[in-house]
């Protein structure tokens, strides 16, 4: 079983706020699991948004590079 310090560190690494983490740690384990299951798709959505933003930048970088070589 993970310690609360290890859980706190993992949640912080996942980008969750201290307020969210503090509330999470006060919940019973079954509710913690439910909350993690709710949070995961939200994080995945943010990841998809970031990927699309990165794709846009990469497209522009490619266009600039190809213009210089033409």
Q: What's the pLDDT score for residue 35?
A: 97
Domain count, the chain: 1
What pTM, to 2 d.p., does this model score?
0.76
> pLDDT grade, residue 69 (50/70/90)?
confident
pLDDT per residue over 23-65, tens digit each?
999 999 999 999 999 999 999 999 999 999 999 999 999 999 9
Smallest CA-to-CA distance from 38 within 8, 10, 65, 16 is with 16
* Domain coverage including residue 25: 4-69
Residue 13: is its pLDDT beyond 80? Answer: yes
> Any idea which residue has 């993970």 for tokens?
2
């Amino acid at each position: 079983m993970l310690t609360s310090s290890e859980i706190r560190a993992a949640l912080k690494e996942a980008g969750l706020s201290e307020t969210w983490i503090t509330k999470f740690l006060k919940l019973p384990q079954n509710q913690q699991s439910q909350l993690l299951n709710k949070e995961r798709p939200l994080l995945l959505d943010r990841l998809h948004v970031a990927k699309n933003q990165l794709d846009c930048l990469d497209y522009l970088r490619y266009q600039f590079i190809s213009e210089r070589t033409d």
